[in-house]
Amino acid sequence: MKRDLFKIITMHNSLVQTVPASSYLDIILATNNIGNTGWILKNQPPKFSDIPLTFCSYISEWYKDIYGSDSQGIIFDTQAQIVYACAGDTFSLMREGNWLPGHEKFLFSSLEEMIEKYPTPRDFHIDFVSYFKNLNPQEIYPELSPRQAKERSRFDQCMYSNYINWNWYNEIAFKKPTEISNIQVFSWKDELLKILSK
């Protein structure tokens, strides 16, 4: 199993970033950089709140989804160091704008560490549900009364039986700007999958 994971982790062209408009794509292709703006997102993980970050997804046999799955984008390589890797979107570690206590356990300093802990999205979801169930509801929803917080957490999306089978995209963060290479452009997800299958 570990040998297979190592093969996938070191596979070239397994990082993907979608772009909202062709003008952004033009800038990336002209500079060979992603994250060409210096601004910081409001809802970055607190530990990295002062670092301008750019985000992408890691694609493999098990992690198949990407952010903005109907968008155009790029596949690329980079020698840059990862700031953090999360097996899900970090927004899933928040509730109503508040970071869940102990969310840091889901942020890894390398892709290898993330895959070692969560080889598939299902592994991540199973662990997340167990973690969520052990939280005090008022830690999740501090602005609500104890009764309201308990009721809200009971009906959280991760409490649904099919949650563990959702194949969400992961989130890989790099410090802006990030130099990239071996860039390939795709116009939609089907084209992306064709490129990756070659």
Residue 69: the pLDDT is: 66
pLDDT above 70: residue 148: yes
Distances (CA, A) of 97 to 36, 43, 45, 112, 144: 26, 8, 11, 29, 13
Q: How many CB atoms lie within 10 A of CB 45?
A: 21
Angular region, 121: left φ>0, alpha ψ -120 to 50, beta rest: alpha
Contact 77, 181 (CB under 8 A): yes
Residue 7: the pLDDT is: 38
Residue 142: the pLDDT is: 93
pLDDT above 60: residue 4: no
End-to-end Cα distance, the chain: 23
Mean of pLDDT over the chain: 88
Q: pLDDT tens-digit profile of 72-129?
A: 899 999 999 999 999 999 999 999 999 999 999 999 999 999 999 999 999 999 999 9
Indicate the domain borders of the chain: 2-197
Q: How many CB atoms lie within 10 A of CB 32?
A: 14
- pLDDT band, very low/low/confident/very high, at 130 (cuts 50, 70, 90): very high
Q: pLDDT tens-digit profile of 23-44?
A: 889 999 999 999 988 889 889 9
Residue 149: the pLDDT is: 96
Mean pLDDT, range 148-176, rounded to an integer: 91
Q: pLDDT tens-digit profile of 42-74?
A: 899 999 999 999 999 998 888 888 877 667 899
Residue 126: the pLDDT is: 95
